[in-house]
Amino acid sequence: MRWGTFKNTVREKYLFRRRALLSLVIIFLLSAVLGVRLYYLQIVEHKTYTTLSDKNRVQVEPIPPTRGLIYDRNGVLLAENRPVFSVTIVPELVKNMDKTLARLSKIIKLSPDDEERFRRHLKEYRRPYEPVTLRYNLTEEEIAKLAVHRYDLPGVDVGAELVRYYPYGSTTVSALGYVGRINEKELKTADPVNYAGTHYIGKLGVEKFYENILHGTVGYQNVETNARGRIMRVLERHDPIPGKNIELTIDLRLETLAHKIMAGQRGAVVAIDPNNGDILAMVSSPSYDPNQFVTGIDYDTYKKLRSSPDLPLFNRALRGQYPPGSTVKPFMAIAGLDTGTITPAFRMFDPGFYQLSVGGRKYHDWKRWGHGWVNLHSAIEESCDTYFYHLADKMGVDDMDKYLSMFGFGQNTALDVDEAQQGLLPSRAWKRAVKREPWYPGDSLNMGIGQGYMLVTPLQLATATAVLAARGTWHQPHLLKQVMDGTPVADVLPKQTMSNIHLRSRSEWVSVVGGMEAVMNGPHGTARRVGRGSPFQLAGKSGTAQVVGLPQDNHYDEKEKALRLRDHALFIMFAPAEKPKIAVAVIVENAGSGSGAAAPVAKQIVDAWIQGFPADKDIKPVQDVDEGDR
């Protein structure tokens, strides 16, 4: 018989108590840890987690400001904000996007560009409940059609937003520029807070330069959302501050007149008030409608503009660079007088050419048989090349460079026009650095009549003319007249950098201006046909800029050249001569003689500003004027 082992109840009770006690200690410790953690989360970190919770429930949405308006000097609205209706789609409400797009294309017109842009934006959106714009600028008929079919198009809706609109389109785009859809590159440089929710930004012109003033300050609203992020209600709203309205120096009447005169031609017109630097008109022809670019231009239209041989997208007034031709001669005359190279009484004989040395190359005058005996007055009046060849040869490039730079050539002196080119004012240093060649005497001769390397923009030419009209007093050109909330213009415009021109004697101004007056009404003035009979005294100078070079000793036969190889016509003018109110620079590309094509344009601009604007029937386009002298 085997005897079994008896239970030790005392020992078992002891083990049980010990294990139970250990379990209680563990439970207590875990409870303590949990309690400490709950205390930390609910008491210590209460504010932090309340904020995080609110972030899940409350979203901050930016409210873009309304863009400031732009007016001309007379209070005419040049740039406004108009509601544009667009068709939008909420992705989460659309089961089959391809079918929806196909159905919409049968109701409204959708281009391949519209669909491509929509699908690109669709990928960029993170929240499926946000509407994505499919097409802008819906007509009333299209809105009505969409309303009729709305029941059959879930997720499709018609939305409205304020976008920029330019009532005068191509007439004012040279100065105003335009706004367009803000891109990724622009977003990186813009203030991320102030541009939150903003879809448009200034791309060119005034719209770009004064972006900070016109844009305004962003607002915001706190909205309560559900678990999916959909807005349930608005909790708090802070309205945006609209952009400031501005008034420009541009006069729409003058701008429109210049636009009509230049219709059908390639060229530019710039008019400036010599007394304060106000840019009164700035027109580039041909032009384009900036409204096409605001919400996005379609591919075919843009391709047509880009491929046009007339370059409508190119702002000739600011970026066109041309040889100044004979329009540079009054400024050369100022330099010659002030350096003592010539005097008003100095005379020389013009046989129709100039030679640096006996038997050397002949630099021909535009008048084959020459002008005979000429002095400064008659040389400006008749635009005698030979006289200015001699002046440039004796004066040299260093003085020419010095004095022409005083008038703003070779630099952008406009205070608020960023896109303007600087032109080219050649010098010894420039030629050695760029051409790797020394400066030759022949280079000086070409520069003396505005040919060779020298290039100017219409804005530069108008600016220099305004300084000449003001007898050396500088008022740098600008487009801003006033900020309409009372902000001082001096606080907004950049500071003037150019210094007044002080000559040895005021009589030097008198001599040169007298020659320019003779251009308009002297017996041999190159623009006497245009200036004859004017009720006030005009001062002007014609110019003909050579487009292609001529072999030595060859004369120019305009009729033998294709239209686009003909010379450019230039003209500068200010009036009245003694107390000028306006200075104008005109260029008409491939029009030949400056006095024949460009002078009548300048005369109509000056007449309108001083005497009053003509009726449409009295406006004479460029192609209707007769060809005159050089």
Find the mean pLDDT for residues 190-212.
90
**What is the per-residue pLDDT for 379?**
97
Whether 557 has a pLDDT exceeding 60, the answer reads no
Q: What are 350's strand-pairing partners?
A: 372
Is residue 414 situated within a structural domain?
A: yes
Centroid of chain to Cα 540: 28
Question: pLDDT digits over 128-141, tens only?
Answer: 666 778 888 888 88
**What is the per-residue pLDDT for 470?**
97
Whether 1 has a pLDDT exceeding 50, the answer reads no
pLDDT band at 572 (very low <50, low <70, confident <90, very high): very high
Q: What radius of gyration do the chain's Cα atoms show? A: 37
Residue 577 · residue 538 · CB < 8 Å: yes
Is residue 479 situated within a structural domain?
A: yes
Which whole-number Å values give the CA distances from 327 to 135, 467, 501, 544, in the listed order? 50, 14, 19, 8
**What is the per-residue pLDDT for 569?**
94
Whether 233 has a pLDDT exceeding 80, the answer reads no
Find the mean pLDDT for residues 504-520.
96
**What is the per-residue pLDDT for 552?**
47
Both structure tokens of 386: 């030979």
Pairing between β-strand 246-248 and β-strand 231-238 as defined by DSSP bridges: unpaired
pLDDT band at 52 (very low <50, low <70, confident <90, very high): low
Residues 6+ apart with CB under 8 A from 201: 179, 180, 182, 186, 190, 195, 211, 215
Q: Rounded to two decimals, what is the model's pTM?
A: 0.85
Question: Which has more pLDDT, 557 or 565?
Answer: 565
Whether 145 has a pLDDT exceeding 90, the answer reads no
Task: Give backbone dihedrals phi and psi of 570, rounded to 5 degrees, phi first.
Answer: -125, 155
241 with 257, same domain? no
Find the mean pLDDT for residues 323-351.
96
DSSP H or E stretch at residue 470: none
147 with 167, same domain? yes
Last residue of a domain, one of 217, 247, 277: 247
Whether 239 has a pLDDT exceeding 90, the answer reads no
Whether 449 has a pLDDT exceeding 50, the answer reads yes
Q: How many residues does the chain have?
A: 630
Is residue 15 situated within a structural domain?
A: no
Enclosing domain of residue 75? 61-247
319 with 409, same domain? yes
Average pLDDT value for the chain: 88
Find the mean pLDDT for residues 16-31.
86
Whether 4 has a pLDDT exceeding 70, the answer reads no
Q: What are 86's strand-pairing partners?
A: 159
Is residue 591 situated within a structural domain?
A: yes
Is residue 12 situated within a structural domain?
A: no
Question: pLDDT digits over 384-409, tens only?
Answer: 999 999 999 999 999 999 999 999 99
**What is the per-residue pLDDT for 64?**
86
349 with 440, same domain? yes
Which range is least confidently modeled, 47-61, 141-155, 255-269? 47-61
**What is the per-residue pLDDT for 523?**
94
Whether 127 has a pLDDT exceeding 70, the answer reads no
**What is the per-residue pLDDT for 446?**
95
Q: Using alpha carbons, select from 356, 382, 408, 327 the residue that is nearest to residue 526.
A: 382
Strands (E), 274-343: 279-285
% of the chain at pLDDT higher than 90:
59
DSSP conformation letters of 359-405 = TS-EEE-SSTT--EEE-HHHHHHHT-HHHHHHHHHHH-HHHHHHHHH
Last residue of a domain, one of 183, 217, 247: 247
Is position 326 annotated as part of the catalytic site? Answer: yes
Is residue 183 situated within a structural domain?
A: yes
186 with 323, same domain? no
Both structure tokens of 509: 């101004």
Is residue 289 situated within a structural domain?
A: yes
**What is the per-residue pLDDT for 439?**
96
372 with 273, same domain? yes
Q: How far apart are CA 50 and CA 175, in angstroms?
A: 53
352 with 410, same domain? yes
Question: Is 545 buried (19+), middle (13-18) or exposed (0-12) by CB count in 10 A?
Answer: buried
122 with 191, same domain? yes
**What is the per-residue pLDDT for 135?**
83
Question: Which has more pLDDT, 218 or 69?
Answer: 69
pLDDT band at 550 (very low <50, low <70, confident <90, very high): very low
Last residue of a domain, one of 247, 267, 298: 247
CATH value at residue 88 = 3.90.1310.10
Question: pLDDT digits over 157-189, tens only?
Answer: 888 888 999 999 999 999 999 999 888 788 788
**What is the per-residue pLDDT for 78?**
97
166 with 240, same domain? yes
Which whole-number Å values give the CA distances from 153 to 48, 95, 141, 143, 148, in the listed order? 44, 10, 17, 13, 10
Find the mean pLDDT for residues 453-472.
97
Which range is least confidently modeled, 22-36, 265-279, 506-520? 22-36
221 with 157, same domain? yes
Of 174, 284, 287, 326, which residue is the catalytic one? 326
CATH value at residue 598 = 3.40.710.10
273 with 225, same domain? no
243 with 256, same domain? no
pLDDT band at 564 (very low <50, low <70, confident <90, very high): confident
**What is the per-residue pLDDT for 167?**
96
Residues 6+ apart with CB under 8 A from 200: 67, 163, 164, 179, 180, 181, 182, 294
Question: Which has more pLDDT, 239 or 600?
Answer: 600
Sheet containing 568-575: order of strands: 279-285, 267-272, 582-588, 568-575, 539-545
Find the mean pLDDT for residues 21-34.
87
Find the mean pLDDT for residues 406-425.
95
Task: Provide the domain count of the chain.
Answer: 2
How many Å from the N-terminal Cα to the C-terminal Cα in the chain?
148
Q: How far apart are CA 109 and CA 119, in angstroms?
A: 17
Is residue 384 situated within a structural domain?
A: yes
DSSP conformation letters of 73-134 = TTS-EEEEEEEEEEEEE-GGG-S-HHHHHHHHHHHS---HHHHHHHHHHHHH---TTS-EEE
**What is the per-residue pLDDT for 102?**
87
Q: What are 540's strand-pairing partners?
A: 573
